[in-house]
Every structure is written in C-alpha cells, then in structure tokens.
Structure 1
C-alpha cells in the first residue's frame, strides 16, 4: 500500500493542487466557507500521506529526515485549524520533490544518451560467408562483422577490410570523423559516417570501451563526495535540533502556529539537493566530452590540484616512436638483427614496437627463458645465444663492456633527444639504436591552459635518459624534468611532493605507471593505455585525447565552485527565513515553504549550467 501511494505521489500532488484551487475559488468568488475548508482539509490529508510515509520509512532506518519536520508541521497546522497553511505547505513540498526528481533525471541525461547510443544488433558473418543481422548478445569475440554507412559500430574491434570515416564524438568528445582502414581500432557505439568496413570483434558487451564508459559514469554519479557525506551527517543532527527548537518555542510561547512555522522554515531542502546535483551535472558534462570522472570525490581533489606529474611516452608524446639512428658493431648483421627482432617481438613496449617495425623483414627465431628487468630491458635465450636488450644501466648491471667510442656515440644521441636501446649478444655489445618519439600536437598550448587554470608545477618523469627529457622540458615549457627513473622512483618522487602538502595528480598510460596512478590524489589515465592503468586511475581521457585535460580541470573547478555556491544559497535562505520570522510580521508557513522550494529551484538551475560548460 505504501509503495503504491509513493508510486503515485505526482498524481497526488496534482489532485492536491486542484483542491487548493477549488478552495480559493470557493473563498474569493462564492465566499463559501464550507467548500473552502473542505477543499483545504482534503488537500492537506492527501498531501501529508506520502510525506508521512517517507518520514515513517526514514524513522525505521533510524534517520530523522526533513519529511518528519514537514509532517509534524502540517499535522500541527491542521489541528490548529489552519487548513490553508497545511494544504499549501504539503503541495509545495510535494511539488518541490517532483522538481528535484525531474532535474536529477535531466542531469543524468549523459547516462540515458549513452545507453540509447548502445547498438542493439550487428551484421555477423556466417559459416557460408554471407552476413546476417543478429541480436548484439549473439556476437562473440573473433566474429567478423559488417558495418555500413550510417550504422553504429557494435563492438570494439579492428578493421580487416574496407575503409571509411568514423564519428567517435560519444567516446572521445572529438567532433571530426576519423579515417579508419585495415588494422585500425574501432569502438562500440561510434558511428560509421561514410564507407563500409568489416571488423573482427575484440571486446563485446560490458567489456567494450562503450560498456565500460556507461558502467564508470553510473558508478561515478552514484558515488558521494566528502561534502555530500558531510551534509548527510549534518542533516542527521540538524533535523533533530530543529525539532527541539520548535518544541522549545512552543514550551516558552505556547504559540503552536509559531512553533510549527519554525519547523517549516528550518527545512534544509536546498542543502540536501544542492551538492549532489552539481556533481551529477559535472560528471555528465565530462562523459559527453570524452572525460570519465570516477566519482564525486575526484572532482574536489582535482579542482584543488597544485602539481601535475606526467609520464613522457604515450602521454606528452605520441607513443609511436621510430628508430632514427642505428650503429652496428658486429660481424653478421643479418643474424644479429634477426636475434634482436625475435626478442623484441615478445614485448609490447613502445620502444620494442618501434624496433620490430624497423626489423619486420628479418627471420623470427624461437625465444626461450625471457627475463624482463624492470626499468632496464630484457634478457632472453635465442638459438643458443644470450641476447640482452635495454638501456645503459642494464648493460652495466650485466657487466657488458662499453668502449669509449660507444660511450661517446651514446652521449651524442642522448643530447640529440633520442631514447637509447643497446643490444648485446653473448655479452658483447653489437647494436646501438636511437629512437625518437614526436611530441603530441597542441600539447604545449594545453599545458599553458593548465597553468592559466592555476596549476603551479608541471613535471615530466620518465625512464628515458636525462638528455631526452630535458629537451621535452625545454620544448614544452615544463617546470621540471627527471629522467632515468624506474616506476618506484616515480612513486617515491610523488610521495615526496605530497609530503610537502601539495595536491598531486599523475598522468600516464602504462602498466609501470599504475603504482603512481594509485598513489596520487588524482590518477589520470590515457584511454588507449593499458587496462591496469585505466583501472588504477581516477580520471580517464578516452582515446588518449590530451587536449581534454584542460577541459577536465576547468570542469572540475567549475563544478567545485558550483557546489560551494549551492551550499551558500541553501544556508543563506534558512538564515534569512529564521531572521524574518523573528524580526518581521509577514513571515508565515506557506511563504517560508514557497521560499524553500524557490531556493531548491535556484540551486538546481545553478547546477544545470554545468551541463553546457566549455573551457574558454
């Protein structure tokens, strides 16, 4: 019965409002006191029932809610035969509740829009080779799917044949369509603007990028920030205090109307709704712009960040390095390059990918007993040879001699900004490679935007040599640059900055970044990075769009400011109403409730501004 009444609460609000209108018509047009009182009595009883049920349910879980204040106030007004006040108060309270529900649904529209974008069917290749439209649930990993112009891409996958342009705005926030051809990745929920392609399914359903976005945004919008948790605790003791004050007013004055009015004026409705609606609107804006905030707490921390630490490869740079210098010191170049190619094929590190792309024409040999040296490189057994591939530190650890000529060449390449990869076969150095990665387009401008938003320190931390990171620092105008750093060195550096009281954010994309992402107040992962990095982060920039970072920071600051504005509005209204009650003659229950509901509408409209926020 209770659930049925609450389910039809909006209908009750409408009926209550109609009876109030009937009452006023009877009073002002027909001067009929009986109909006037009867209409307001019915409106009061109808209106207080759902409010009283909510109050009862709150008491059952030992929470003294605002509904209790309103229920007592309405019952008090009813028994002193102030039917007009009791009817209007219940109607305004129910109408305010309706506005809150409607607005929260609108601010959660990012979820609804994303869900509606989720593909429901796919054209799957059957055993006979033809394609048939099937339900998305029947698609499995490894299936070949056909995507035509205007269709939604149903899964995460790779293009096998065909080419065309894909609109990825709902994943990355990037409005321009991207060209896709054989080998390129595509994402579920994006739209094929032009062309026809076939793709092989890599990730389906909830495991797809699109599925994870929906899940993360839902979790984030349901999470509570520190401010929200404080307000929850605050309202738990605030409401009983208002009840006690109302009782004391009645005991001291014996004025029931005054005591009841105190209860109504003390309702902190705007305070309860103001912070959540700001956070939900901010998270929704982020989702539409390719930014995933994993919770309301993240917004507060990021809004106050002092220092941002950057991994270099794949973050400040494209993450697509190429071999730029090559020096060979051995006697059988083809065999030695075949050994190197075979070892590097075992790794997905960006430098390894650059080397395998360079050496793809060489013979692949069986690799045994691969040993990865964290922050150094790899040692493997290939066709009876011990192959050591890595940096200068690894060579020194393995007692592999480096001649003066090699050291001079190495120093020259480092000063030119190259990442160095050394290769030794059977403990003799035979190959020196210089690898360069291009700085992302527009990164310098994006970093300037971060500074203009109040970030004091922009620091790059990298496992690359100091010469390379110094060049990156100079090119991008960074505050500091630190090279030759292992993952634990990055994490230790981060902790040192935190120990001085700085609020630190770390942005990276690799497995080796995960400790720092987890340690920082705000960990930011590039969306094309590893799953481990994405899982251990607090913010994800979808499709690795670095230019979304300034928008994310600006949005966090705007959301945090909006939240504080709403708190100020809510508290200010309560103070003004109580002062008006004490120092004026015009304040009444219905006027107080009307002002309360107006304040709720104001904080909602204030939060709604965040939905259209764009960084200037």
Structure 2
C-alpha cells in the first residue's frame, strides 16, 4: 500500500488517467455511456490544452517539437467519437514519462551507486583516546580517524596503524584488494578490509578523492545532451508526413475517422524517450569503467571526433622521470655524486628533483640537510651539503661555478642534470620519462574510431618531444608551446570536433576551449579536472579510446532507437490509412512501440562492454610498437648537453 501511494505521488497524471478510466468504465457498464463519453472527452481535451500550452511555449523559445501530433491526435479522436482511443493516447503520454523515468533509473544505476556510497560520518580519535562520531565535513587536516572493518574511508589520509587491505575498485576499477603499510596514502571511497585501521587526514572532505569524483558525477547526471532533443530534428518532416498520410486517408475514404486513426499511431513518444534513455545508459556504462562524462553532450561530440591532441608529460608518458645514468667526474664516485645532488635537490620544486632524491635514497642511503639552500627558478639549486658547496641544474648555471664543466653527450630525448662541488665539475645524472605502455595501441584505436588527425601539443622542446612523437607514429608535433599557444592551436585545428587530452594545471585553459577536454586521472590537477568535459579516474590512457568508443556506440544506439520508432510508426500509419487499424487498437499498439524503443535504447547500458579494435583485439604481449624507439622511453630534457626543460 505504501508503495502504491508513493507511485501515485510520483506519477499523479498516470494515476488520474487510470482513475478516469475506471470511473468511465463503470458508467458505461451501468448504461451511462453518454456520461462516460463526456467525462473522458473533457479530461482528454484538458490534457490536450496542457500539451498545447507547452507546445506554444516551445515555439516561442524557437523549439519546434512533436507535441502538435499528440494534441491533434487527442482532439481528432474526441471529435470523431473515438473517446476511448483519446484516453489511451493520454495514458500513453503520461505513461511514457513514467517509462522514461524507470528506464533512466536503470541506465543511471552506476552513477547512483557512486552517489549512494558517499561517506556521511567519520570516527575521530580524540586526545584522550576516546572516539567521537562526527559529520564527515567536520574532519580537519591532521585529525586521527578510526575506520572500522568494511567501512568506507571518509577522507584522504595516510595510514597510521599496521597493515591494511583496501578495496579501491570504486576508484580505480581494480577488483583485487590493495595492501597498504604505515605511512602509505589512502583514498576516500576505498573500502576497508576485515581489520580496523587508523588514518591521519591529509585533506578535508570537499578536497578528497571520492568527493571530487562524486561532484563530477553530480554534474554529469544533471546534464542534458543536444541529442536528447535529436528527435526535434525529425519533428517537422515527421509531422508533415503524418498529417499528409492522415489527410490523404481522409480525402480518399471520405471518412474523418480515418484521419484520427492515422494520427493515433503517429504519436511520437518513442522519439522523445529513446535518446535520453540511451544517453543515461552510455554515461552509466562509462562511469562503471572509470570515465566520468561531466556533460552528456560530450558523448555526442566524442562520437564524431575527427582530431585528437595530446599533451606529452603525464599523458603520453608516465610523468615520472627515472634516473637511468649517473656519470661522476674523476675524483667523485657514483654514490657520493648521488648523495650530494639528491641532498641539494631537496630544496628544489622542479619535476626532476623528486626523482633524483629518490635515486639518492635508494642507492646512497641518506640525504643531508642544508641551512643556506636557495633555488634559482628554471635554472637550478645551490646549497651547502656536509660542508661542501654544491650547485645543481642546467649546464650554464653550473658552469658559473665550475669552469671545467664538460657537456655530456646524452642520447636525444634525455634530461641531463649537471653538478658542481666546491668549484669543480662533479658529473651529471641522466633521466628519462617512459612512454605509457598502451599509448601506441590507444592511438591505433583512435584512428580506427574515426580520428583523422592526431597531434602532440607540448611545452617541451622539439628535441625532447620529437623522439616520443616519432616512436608513437605522431607526425604533427607542436613543441615549446605556452598555454596561450596551445589554446590557439586547438581553436584553429581542423577537422572538428577536436578532443584535447592533458593532465596538468597548464592544460586547464586548452581543455576548456577544446570541443571535448579529457583530463587524465582525478588524482592529478584539480584545475585540469574542473576544466575538462571528461575525467578519466584511472591512470590509463587507453580509457581515452574507450570513451570515444562508448560515445560512438551510445549515439548509434540512440539513433537506431529513434529510427526504429519512426519506421514502426510510419508502418502503422499506412496500415491505419487503409482502414485496417481501428483507433483504439492503434493507440494500444503505440504503447508496444514505446516499450520496444525503450528496450532498444537501454542497450546503451552495455556500450562499454564491446571490445575496442586496437586495444582488445590481441594479447598485450603481441601489441608492441615497431620502429626505432629510443630505449622505449621518452624524456623531459633535450639532446646532447641540452638544458633541462622548464627548470
């Protein structure tokens, strides 16, 4: 009973139509057929007036829709006395809304699953050791929190107790538990294993990983795609054809009932319902695979993509340069050089500094502090380490302190960091940034999905980006680009639509101006994620091709469902035109057409299941890049003795 009341409140027009049908049926069975006719006719005409008002408002907003057919069908059936058919049309219009809501609910299942799992409460450990339950938005950075078995981590933090086994499948798609040790970062939205753990909050709720994902999903679920109104593109011709068939049927037969019978099966509910249901299904399928479409319009544009542009560092490459060579000068050994350079780089904010520090810790064992370190932006860092004056950075910067500096003949594409110690040239460290494993396969897949032009647009110098582009088969390279240059290139790029893929803060402007901006990884730049139309939650470039594939399949399914409705409706109109389809039967058949169109549109829920050619056609081991690839790696630097990029 409670469920029935809830349904009545949710769909009052459906409930009212059923009530009118019950009352009218009772009147007709008791010999009061005229009263039943008047009741149904007045009710149907009232609904027609409501639809007409909506239609006029749409016309004033320069939106020509299909409402005119529904209004004409209701009025014509009332006029010719087919009042039961008019009631069925009204029920079809009201029921169509209910079917759409139900189908959209099925299609949005994955989106809702994310929203439903938002943590609401946290268990804060107080100074006296007691545990207080607080709202998740009251958690502050530095708070120590208890997470009980099987609970969702409320905020991002660092593990502060023992070992933990976490389920991160809602964040990364990885189905296996991930083991964490003390000090490891843990993400909100992860599900704790069988043992209670303690974490120290490193972000408030609003800035934590899961809440950021949920906010993206909220934006996505509230958006509407242009294709949702795609049926309106067919509105004028479909309306014209319907009225023409109905008019000819009336003229040839001389029976106005024939006109009403034709229009009954021309009611356009399938056209209005199919597209939104398909798009909700496509967005849900994408979300399940770690791809959040912030706007449903992105699906329609992805389906038509013709140009794809990529940033380099962190997008086509791993974004994590690694030390591949340590070359000390005579008088220094490898361990000593690593220790001195790593200790100095503690005080640098450059992208290479962390890699050098890590290599020093791994190979030299420790880092020493400095009390007078200073960084010269884009050039390097200078510091006193263990009583020795150390200068690290670009060759010109180091040469000011070491006249005996010898340029290092590194391979093209390598980043070279120079060092001087107490006025002597001490040696160099060589770093590289590896190309992502699936980068080449992703580009092959994108070409198979309709991308005619693929560009690399990067701030790195040509000597760095060139070998990477060549190894991936990218023939169009734009190097040494400032953010303004990237924006100009993407604005001028043809053919359109243009997709831009990036991950850093400097990519935010170009992601915003592209037809579809795709941000790699919600763990990356907040600015990039906010500017993008699509956010890939996983650090997996192959999802770019999968996003395009889902867009193409979703749009194809939406169009198929729309055309299915048109073809069936036209077929039924022709049958009705020759007098073989009574109005009440035609009105009932339209409900079947609605159901067929919706079931067809719901296929988009599985838009991400089908394999993507180029990514899934062969085992990973057989999908290797051919041609000369310098150590299968890319870089952040330049060629021989070249300066560090963006130092």
TM-score range, shorter chain: 0.7 to 0.9
| Structure 1 residue 547, shift from structure 2 partner | 3.9
Q: 2:497 and 2:390 mapped to 1: Cα distance?
A: 43
Decide which moves more: 117-126 or 5-14: 5-14
Superposition deviation, residue 268 in structure 1: 2.8
Distance 2:370 2:478 in 1: 33
1:441-456 aligned at under 5 Å gives the runs 441-456=437-452
- Following superposition, the deviation at residue 438 of structure 1 comes to 3.8
Taking the TM superposition and a 5 Å limit, the aligned residue runs for 1:26-41 are 26=29, 34=31, 38-39=35-36
Range moving further from structure 2, 529-538 or 498-507: 498-507
| Mean Cα deviation higher: 59-68 or 353-362 | 59-68
1:150 maps onto 2:150 in alignment:
yes
Q: Which residue of the partner structure matches residue 29 of structure 1?
A: none
C-alpha separation between the residues in 1 aligned to 2:400 and 2:298? 47
Shift of 1:312: 3.5
Rounded Cα–Cα distance in structure 2 between residues aligned with 1:404 and 1:57: 83
1:468 Cα deviation (Å)?
5.9
Aligned to 1:356: 357
Within the candidate set 553, 559, 562, 1:558 is matched to 553
Report deviation, 1:82: 2.4
Decide whether aligned partners of structure 1 residues 581 and 526 sit closer, same or farther in structure 2, where only a CA change above 3 A counts.
same
Q: Please state whether the residue corresponding to 2:202 is helix, strand or coil.
A: strand
Q: Which of 343, 346, 349 is the aligned partner of 1:347?
A: 349
Task: Flag structure 1 segments of 5+ consecutive residues without an equivalent.
Answer: 27-31
Q: How much has 1:434 moved relative to structure 2? A: 0.8
| Residue deviations 1:320-373 (CA, integer Å, cap 9, x gap) | 322222335699998997687456544262x222123235612144555x564x
Task: Measure how far apart 1:473 and its partner are.
Answer: 5.3
Alpha-carbon offset, residue 8 of structure 1: 1.8
Other-structure match for 1:525: 519
TM-score of the two chains, using structure 1 as the length reference: 0.80
Cα pair distance change 1:71/1:451, threshold 3 Å: closer
Distance 1:365 1:518, change over 3 A: farther
**2: distance between equivalents of 1:193 and 1:48?**
61
Find the aligned partners of 1:490 and 1:390 in 2 and give their Cα distance: 27
Question: 587, 592, 597: which one pairs with 1:598?
Answer: 592
- Whether 2:269 is the aligned partner of 1:274: answer no
Q: Distance in 1 between matches of 2:468 and 2:225?
A: 36
Measured after TM superposition, the shift of residue 161 of structure 1 is 3.0
In structure 2, what is the equivalent of residue 545 of structure 1?
540
SS of alignment partner, residue 313 of structure 1? helix
Q: Does 1:435 align with 2:427?
A: no
- Deviation per CA, 1:489-530: give whole Å up to 9, x if none: 97279449x544264433222223334433433322122221
Q: 2:579 aligns with which of 568, 579, 585?
A: 585
CA separation in 2, counterparts of 1:524 and 1:467? 26
Tell me how far 1:167 sits from its aligned partner.
1.7
Structure 1 partner of 2:177: 177
Instruction: From the superposition, tell whether residues 591 and 454 of structure 1 become closer, same or farther in structure 2 (CA, over 3 Å).
Output: same
Alignment of 1:187-226 (within 5 A): 187-226=187-226
**Other-structure match for 2:301:** 301
SS at the partner of 2:559? helix
Query: 1:82 maps to which residue?
Result: 82
Q: Deviations over 1:522-566 (max 9, x none)?
A: 322122221122122222110323343332222111112112213
- Establish whether residue 11 from structure 1 lines up as the match of residue 8 from structure 2: no
Q: Say if 1:35 and 1:317 are closer, same or farther in 2 by CA, change over 3 A.
A: same
Distance 1:354 1:277 in 2: 48
* Deviation, structure 1 residue 293: 1.3
Q: What's the CA shift for 1:180?
A: 2.3
Listed as ranges, the matches of 1:272-421 within 5 Å are 272-328=272-328, 341-342=343-344, 345-347=347-349, 349=351, 351-359=352-360, 361-366=367-372, 372=377, 377-378=378-379, 395=396, 406-407=406-407, 409=408, 411=409, 413-415=410-412, 418-421=414-417
| SS at structure 1 position matched to 2:324 | strand
Q: Which has the higher helix share?
A: 1
The gaps in structure 2 that reach 5 residues or longer are 1-7, 361-365, 612-647
Query: For residues 178-208 of structure 1, what are the alpha-carbon distances to aligned partners after superposition, in whole Å with 9 as ceiling and x for unaligned?
Result: 2223343333222123444322223344433
In structure 1, distance between residues paired with 2:213 and 2:167: 17
Alpha-carbon offset, residue 283 of structure 1: 0.9
- 1:44 positional shift: 5.2
| Contact 1:13 1:95 (8 Å CA) reproduced | no
How many Å apart are 1:48 and its aligned residue?
5.7
Distance 1:309 1:69, change over 3 A: closer
3-state SS of paired residue (1:92): helix
Contact kept in structure 2, 1:291 and 1:539, CA below 8 Å: yes
Alignment CA distance shift 1:184-1:606 (3 Å): farther
Three-state SS of the structure 2 residue aligned to 1:282 is: helix
Residue 576, structure 1, aligned to residue 610, structure 2: no
**Superposition RMSD in Å:** 4.4
Deviation string 1:35-64 (CA, Å, 9 cap, x unpaired) is: 566556545555665564454455467477
